[in-house]
């Protein structure tokens, strides 16, 4: 894949150990960085069975989908991104905060940052914490400088390393090529459902949700993760976690 079409960080880029889609570890990581304990990450056992969706407290503020980066998906991504200019949004008028991924294997962290930097979840970031300082510093920066800020924030690297090393399965090496990727869906205050992925050219507005709909509503699931499942090509390595109110 040419440099023009390959959105992944270049060889030799800073690399993190891939983060397992483990709600307990993700919650611990976010709390350590400064998210209020009023929120936590929850397993989403099914996006098609209402009785299993009912286990997640509502409203769900963000949905993270782990999916295989298949040839079918890449063809779809290239087609949708063709002709789309690189996003250059910044400042208080920006509809969402979007982070371009320049750290290898950090897509799980990017997903979590997108989840807590946008929509109602941002109001749960405690003041004077690494997360609060990072978001505040990111707002006025364009994407390239925003990515550089992530790279030089040691609290991120330290917290991520600790969480990624404690997964239930053996952690792969930071330099390994991983074919699973995270994408985040959030609903902003104006009702827009956003797809936030650091491998894309920028944030993608997928449609408007009604007041009573969240990221696990039927419409949001149809516009978001179910589209990915359609492109799965028989590869069923999909999983979801959601950011919502704590059960404690």
Catalytic-role residue among 107, 114, 184, 240 = 107
- The full DSSP string for 140-173 is TS-HHHHHHHHHT-HHHHHHHHHHHTT-SSPPPP
CA distances from 163 to 29, 125, 127, 134, 151 (A): 6, 19, 22, 19, 17
For residues 97-124, b (16+ Cβ closer than 10 Å) or e, as one string?
A: bbbbbbbbbbbbbbbbbbbbbbbbbbeb
Q: What angle do CA 62, 103, 68 make, to 5 degrees?
A: 60
CA–CA separation, 190 and 124 (whole Å):
18
Integer Cα distance of 74 and 51 in angstroms: 33
Residue 138: strand, helix, or coil: helix
Active site residue 132: no
Residue with tokens 């250059």: 88
The residue count of the chain comes to 248
Which residue is catalytic, options 31, 160, 181, 184? 181
Q: How far is CA 141 from CA 96, 122, 235, 239, in A?
A: 13, 18, 38, 32
Our answer to whether residue 31 is catalytic in this structure is: no
Question: Quick one: CA dihedral 168, 171, 172, 175, positive or negative?
Answer: positive
Q: Residue 237, Cα to own-chain centre: how many angstroms?
A: 17
Strand partners, 183: 65
As annotated, the active-site residues are 107, 181
């Amino acid at each position: 894949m040419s440099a023009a079409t390959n959105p992944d960080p270049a060889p030799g880029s800073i690399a993190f150990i891939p983060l397992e889609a483990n709600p307990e570890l993700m919650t611990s990581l976010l709390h350590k960085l400064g998210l209020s304990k009023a929120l936590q990450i929850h397993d989403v056992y099914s996006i098609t069975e209402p009785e299993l969706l009912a286990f997640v407290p509502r409203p769900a503020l963000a949905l993270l989908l782990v999916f295989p980066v298949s040839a079918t998906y890449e063809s779809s991504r290239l087609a949708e991104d063709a002709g789309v200019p690189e996003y250059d949004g910044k400042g208080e008028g920006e509809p969402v905060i979007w982070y371009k991924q320049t750290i290898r294997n950090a897509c799980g962290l990017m997903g979590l940052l997108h989840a807590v930097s946008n929509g109602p979840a941002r109001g749960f970031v405690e003041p004077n914490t690494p997360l609060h300082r990072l978001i505040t510093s990111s707002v006025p920066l364009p994407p390239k400088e925003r990515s550089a800020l992530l790279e030089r924030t040691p609290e991120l690297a330290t917290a991520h390393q600790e969480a990624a090393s404690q997964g239930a399965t053996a952690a792969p090496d930071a330099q390994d090529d991983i074919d699973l990727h995270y994408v985040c869906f959030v609903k902003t205050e104006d009702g827009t459902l956003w797809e936030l992925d650091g491998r894309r050219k920028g944030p993608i507005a997928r449609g408007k949700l009604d007041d009573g709909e969240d990221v696990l509503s039927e419409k949001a699931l149809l516009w978001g993760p179910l589209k990915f499942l359609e492109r799965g090509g028989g590869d069923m390595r999909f999983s979801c976690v959601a950011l919502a109110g704590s059960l404690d």
